[in-house]
Amino acid sequence: MNEVIKRLSGEPEVYHYPAFAAQGFVTIVSGRGGGVSAPPFHCLNMSDKVGDDPAAVAENRARVMAAAGLGSLYLGRQVHGDGVTVIDAQPPDDPQEADAVIVSVPGVAVGVLTADCVPILVAEPSRGLAAAVHAGRRGAERGITAKTIALMRERFGADPARLTAVIGPCIRACCYHVDPETARNFASCCGAPYADNLDLVGVNLRQLEGSGLARAAILDSGVCVSCRNDLFYSHRADRNTTGRFLSAIALAGA
């Protein structure tokens, strides 16, 4: 861990980004401890799409939200695509198909669930605007991070020069080995150097900078979930059957 990401005291195991708190935002990164899910999802699984007991997932979510002091959480229906949903009023009851969510309503947390893919949180304090992005390999190939920033500009007039972003815990190049065909496709789609170990962080970093964010405004948790599988779920390290952790952001004040 580094200074970018810090654990909240007590249980359940919840982390946050202090730099965002200073800008008026509440952030959440759930870990693995302090929940009620049984193996193989032990124990703070936040996803109801992986075969876990729905009642356990509901309890886990309630514990995490209470620890963060938030009551409302909206999650899109993630499909490894490039869809972006906007929440500018009361969130809909039925999740929309989207791998990124933008919110302009105070007190409503928007988040993504991951277990290797890259979770990115974005904030624009002057406009009270935030976003959560699920940017794994297929999302990166489709440019979802850049598309989210573009929609923040088009819909709300957000100035990329005033945005802050953080790259959350995810699988890093040290642990993300792929077959040659996948590596070639990734390099071709993302303008990345050809390598059998994919650098999802580097590609998303370039998308953020290419969208106009200052390099100093892009923070990195520095955590590889495969290396720190004791703290976070990793689809690869857990051999394909595991839970998901939450990365979420909300504008404080409601």
Integer Cα distance of 37 and 124 in angstroms? 35
Which pLDDT score is estimated for 254?
56
Domain covering 6-251: architecture: 4-Layer Sandwich (3.60)
Q: Contacts from 13-17 at CB under 8 Å and sequence distance 24+?
A: 13/44, 13/231, 14/64, 14/67, 14/68, 16/68, 17/121, 17/166, 17/219, 17/221
Query: pTM score, two decimals?
Result: 0.97
Integer Cα distance of 218 and 224 in angstroms? 17
Mean pLDDT value of segment 226-254: 94
Candidates 69, 75, 90; CA nearest to 21 is 69
- In contact, 96 and 90? CB cutoff 8 Å: no
Mean confidence (pLDDT) of the chain: 96
Which pLDDT score is estimated for 192?
86
For the stretch 96-143, pLDDT in tens is: 999 999 999 999 999 999 999 999 999 999 999 999 999 999 999 999
Q: Considering the chain, what percentage of its residues have pLDDT values greater than 90?
A: 92
Domain ranges of the chain: 6-251
Candidates 80, 167, 89; CA nearest to 122 is 167
